[in-house]
Amino acid sequence: MAISGTIKVTTAGTSVQAASKGNARSLVFKARNDNTGTCYLGGSDVSATDGMSLVPGESIQLELKEAISTSQFWADAANNNDQIDFIGNE
């Protein structure tokens, strides 16, 4: 079953937790093409200095040994209202 969602960082410099959309073993995260700056993906401590950076349009695919909740991922951004979309499979 496929799951998908969006993490919207309303206020730059403030980490935002992904919604719990279910558990997934395979996930793709993509910074939206129309973002105005870099987004950062990571855990609850994600920031511009502690996280994986994604420039607009860039994506990353994760293959995990065991399925985990999408809510274990957090995002931050250099600019207000930038977003990271995600899609995953169990």
* CATH code of the domain containing 40: 2.60.120
Judge whether residue 1 has pLDDT over 80.
no
Tell me the residue range of the domain where 46 lies.
2-89
**Nearest CA-CA partner of 44 in 73, 23, 67, 24:** 73
Q: In what order do the strands lie in the sheet with 39-42?
A: 16-17, 74-77, 39-42, 52-54
Tokens 């793709």, residue located: 28
Predicted pLDDT at 89: 93
CA atoms of 63 and 37, how far apart (whole Å): 26
Average pLDDT rounded to a whole number, residues 72-88? 98
Predicted pLDDT at 28: 98
Specify the number of domains making up the chain: 1
Strand partners, 5: 86
Residue 12 contacts residue 81 (beta carbons within 8 Å): no
Predicted pLDDT at 90: 83
